[in-house]
Amino acid sequence: MRLRLVPKDTKWDFFKTSTLTMGFSALLMVASLVLFFMQGLNYGIDFKGGTTIRTDSDISVDVGAYRDALSSLDLGDVSITEVFDPAIPDLHVTQIRIEAQEGDEAVTTDTIANIKSALQAYEPSIKFAAVESVGPKVSGELVWTAIEAVVAAILAVLFYIWLRFEWQFSVGAVAALVHDVVLTIGIFSMVQIKFDLAIIAALLTIVGYSLNDTVVVFDRVRENLRKFKKLSLKDVLNLSINETLSRTVMTSVTTLIALVAMFVLGGDVIRGFVFAMIWGVIVGTYSSVFIASAILLRLGVKRDWSKQNPEAGGQYADIDA
């Protein structure tokens, strides 16, 4: 017996409440922007500046013990990660990242000395291999580089979908991506989870995941536009979403199972990244069905794909990739 998360041959009308869902999404986007500008994000060391300390030890690293040893120093945002060095397999390496202290461009030498003393009190054999600082200027450059990466990804999607389908499909897909990114930034602003370069990687992954879902639906829409030329565009869109719904839900659920396991068992190092991915999978699945397709319905689309239309699509519009 095959497992089905969605009933076979569904005939749900996804546009019955499209005005309500679009309005709700627009309200969430506005709320996300308001939160971002009023409360901001809890930027990590990558964006605020700070100091990275690399330590070497002959015994196994206890990250919790290291964190407890440093807790009394009131250092603010501290990230402790065990690193495997393949060049020296018997050596236990730890990377400690400390945010820039208020009023200082980097962690002062006195603070570093206190850190060394606290860790050596716990582990006398510990060695400090390297100390590196990231100043505000470099952090500012990282912020702009991250913004450029997200914008470039969205523009690349716009260009690809335009060539693959028509400009109406492109607008719908990009609107869904912008929706997903804005809501993700909004939830991070609300819950104040640390926002660093790992979250930017999650945002780019969300863009790719949401695009994948959207392209699957749009491919079926294009096939059905050719097959059912007398059906209204709304009926074709409903038919296409229902036909791909089982695949969409199964992909999202199996992905979420893995992500939830990582969120619960993966520890603090990757928790922010996994949280962003979980949220992105949920809103990405939602936007593929309720945002991208709804916008396509409102913009309209060429119905007769057997004829060339120089004003719609591009030279690659009929290629099945």
> How large is the angle between the packed helices 136-164 and 167-191, nearest 10 degrees?
150
pLDDT digit of tens for each residue in the chain (321 aa)? 466 666 677 778 777 888 888 889 999 999 999 998 888 887 777 677 677 778 877 777 777 777 777 777 777 767 777 766 565 666 777 877 777 666 555 566 777 788 888 888 877 778 877 777 666 555 567 677 777 877 887 788 778 777 777 778 888 888 888 888 889 888 988 888 878 778 888 888 888 888 888 888 888 888 888 887 778 888 888 888 888 888 888 888 888 998 898 888 876 667 888 888 898 888 888 888 888 888 888 887 765 545 544 444 443 344 443
d(CA 258, CA 254): 7
Beta strands (DSSP E) in 209-255 are none
Distance between CA atoms of residues 246 and 253, nearest Å: 11
- Where do the DSSP E strands lie in the chain? 42-43, 50-57, 78-83, 92-99, 127-134, 194-195
CATH dotted code for 18-42+139-299: 1.20.1640.10
The domain 50-134 having CATH identifier 3.30.70.2040: the answer here is: yes
Ranges in the chain annotated CATH 3.30.70.2040 = 50-134
What is the pTM assigned to this prediction?
0.70
pLDDT tens for 195-214 read 877 888 888 888 888 888 88
User: CB of 236 within 8 A of CB of 265?
Assistant: no
8 Å CB contact between 139 and 46: yes
> Cβ atoms within 10 A of the Cβ of 279, count?
20
List where CATH 1.20.1640.10 sits in the chain.
18-42+139-299
CA dist list (Å): 310 to 158, 163, 245, 250, 313: 19, 12, 32, 38, 7
What span, in angstroms and rounded, lies between the C-alpha atoms of 241 and 245? 6
Tens digits of per-residue pLDDT, 240-292? 888 888 888 888 888 899 889 888 887 666 788 888 889 888 888 888 888 88
| 86/244 Cα distance (integer angstroms) | 45
Q: What is the pLDDT of residue 34?
A: 92
Return the sign of the alpha-carbon dihedral for residues 250, 254, 255, 260. Answer: positive
